[in-house]
Structure 1
């Protein structure tokens, strides 16, 4: 059981690092999400969003090796995937690329919840 929380954190770090490629511009964002970027202002916001995903990925990866950061990182990862899923459910008719993101985030949500439970059982009290 020692590897479950660090393993989940590393896996979810990879999931959050993948969108970092979007920092390269509108073309890469279109490849990632299947959504055209309508203007330079939206492109700037989306590219900045990818940087934030990279920062979250770095936090999750570092926390995998720091048990004192497990609780905070698990909640950060949960907040990220749960918020996307909530927004995705509220928007009907999304494209196939975004549906794939939702499936990956749903899998990450299950893994993070399991890791949170393991952390709690091990005495980390991450549930409260």
Structure 2
């Protein structure tokens, strides 16, 4: 049961990390994802790179769902990815509703990831 739950959570959190990858394809996708203007080429570059990095994290989580040897690294990378956004959001007042939704989703994802990690430890 724990194995199945762990696999499902890794897949879910991996897919969640893949959602922003659409931002790699340009400003319109970024604007829609984050509810911000990305008129600046510099802002587009930074956010498109962020989207690519999310693809890497998501891919690692999905691979770890099938390959147990990758799980320690995937839990660490996925957990730090989620926790760092939550910490930055807590330190940044006044973000928009789009980013607020990401906070709630990341809280749930981090809780699930941490929960199955704990289950596997005991």
TM over 0.5: yes
Other-structure match for 1:126: none
SS at match of 1:37: coil
Runs of 4+ in 1 over 4 A off after TM superposition: none
- Partners of 1:108 and 1:36 in 2: CA distance: 27
Contact 1:16–1:56 (CA<8 Å) still a contact in 2?
yes
Unaligned stretches of 5+ residues in structure 1: 122-128
1:84 deviates by 0.1
> In angstroms, what is the RMSD of aligned CA positions?
0.9
- Partners of 2:60 and 2:38 in 1: CA distance: 28
Contact 1:22–1:50 (CA<8 Å) still a contact in 2?
yes
> How big is each residue's C-alpha offset from its partner over 1:41-91, in whole Å with a ceiling of 9 and x where there is no partner?
111111011011011111100010011111111111110000000000111
Other-structure match for 1:125: none
SS at match of 2:3: coil
Contact 2:64–2:70 (CA<8 Å) still a contact in 1?
yes
Contact 1:16–1:53 (CA<8 Å) still a contact in 2?
yes
Q: TM-score, normalised by structure 1?
A: 0.91
- Partners of 1:12 and 1:2 in 2: CA distance: 15
- Partners of 1:88 and 1:36 in 2: CA distance: 19
SS at match of 1:35: coil
Other-structure match for 1:12: 13
Contact 1:5–1:70 (CA<8 Å) still a contact in 2?
no
Q: TM-score, normalised by structure 2?
A: 0.95
Contact 1:81–1:105 (CA<8 Å) still a contact in 2?
yes
Other-structure match for 2:100: 99
Correspondence list, 1:1-128, <5 A: 1-121=2-122
Unaligned stretches of 5+ residues in structure 2: none
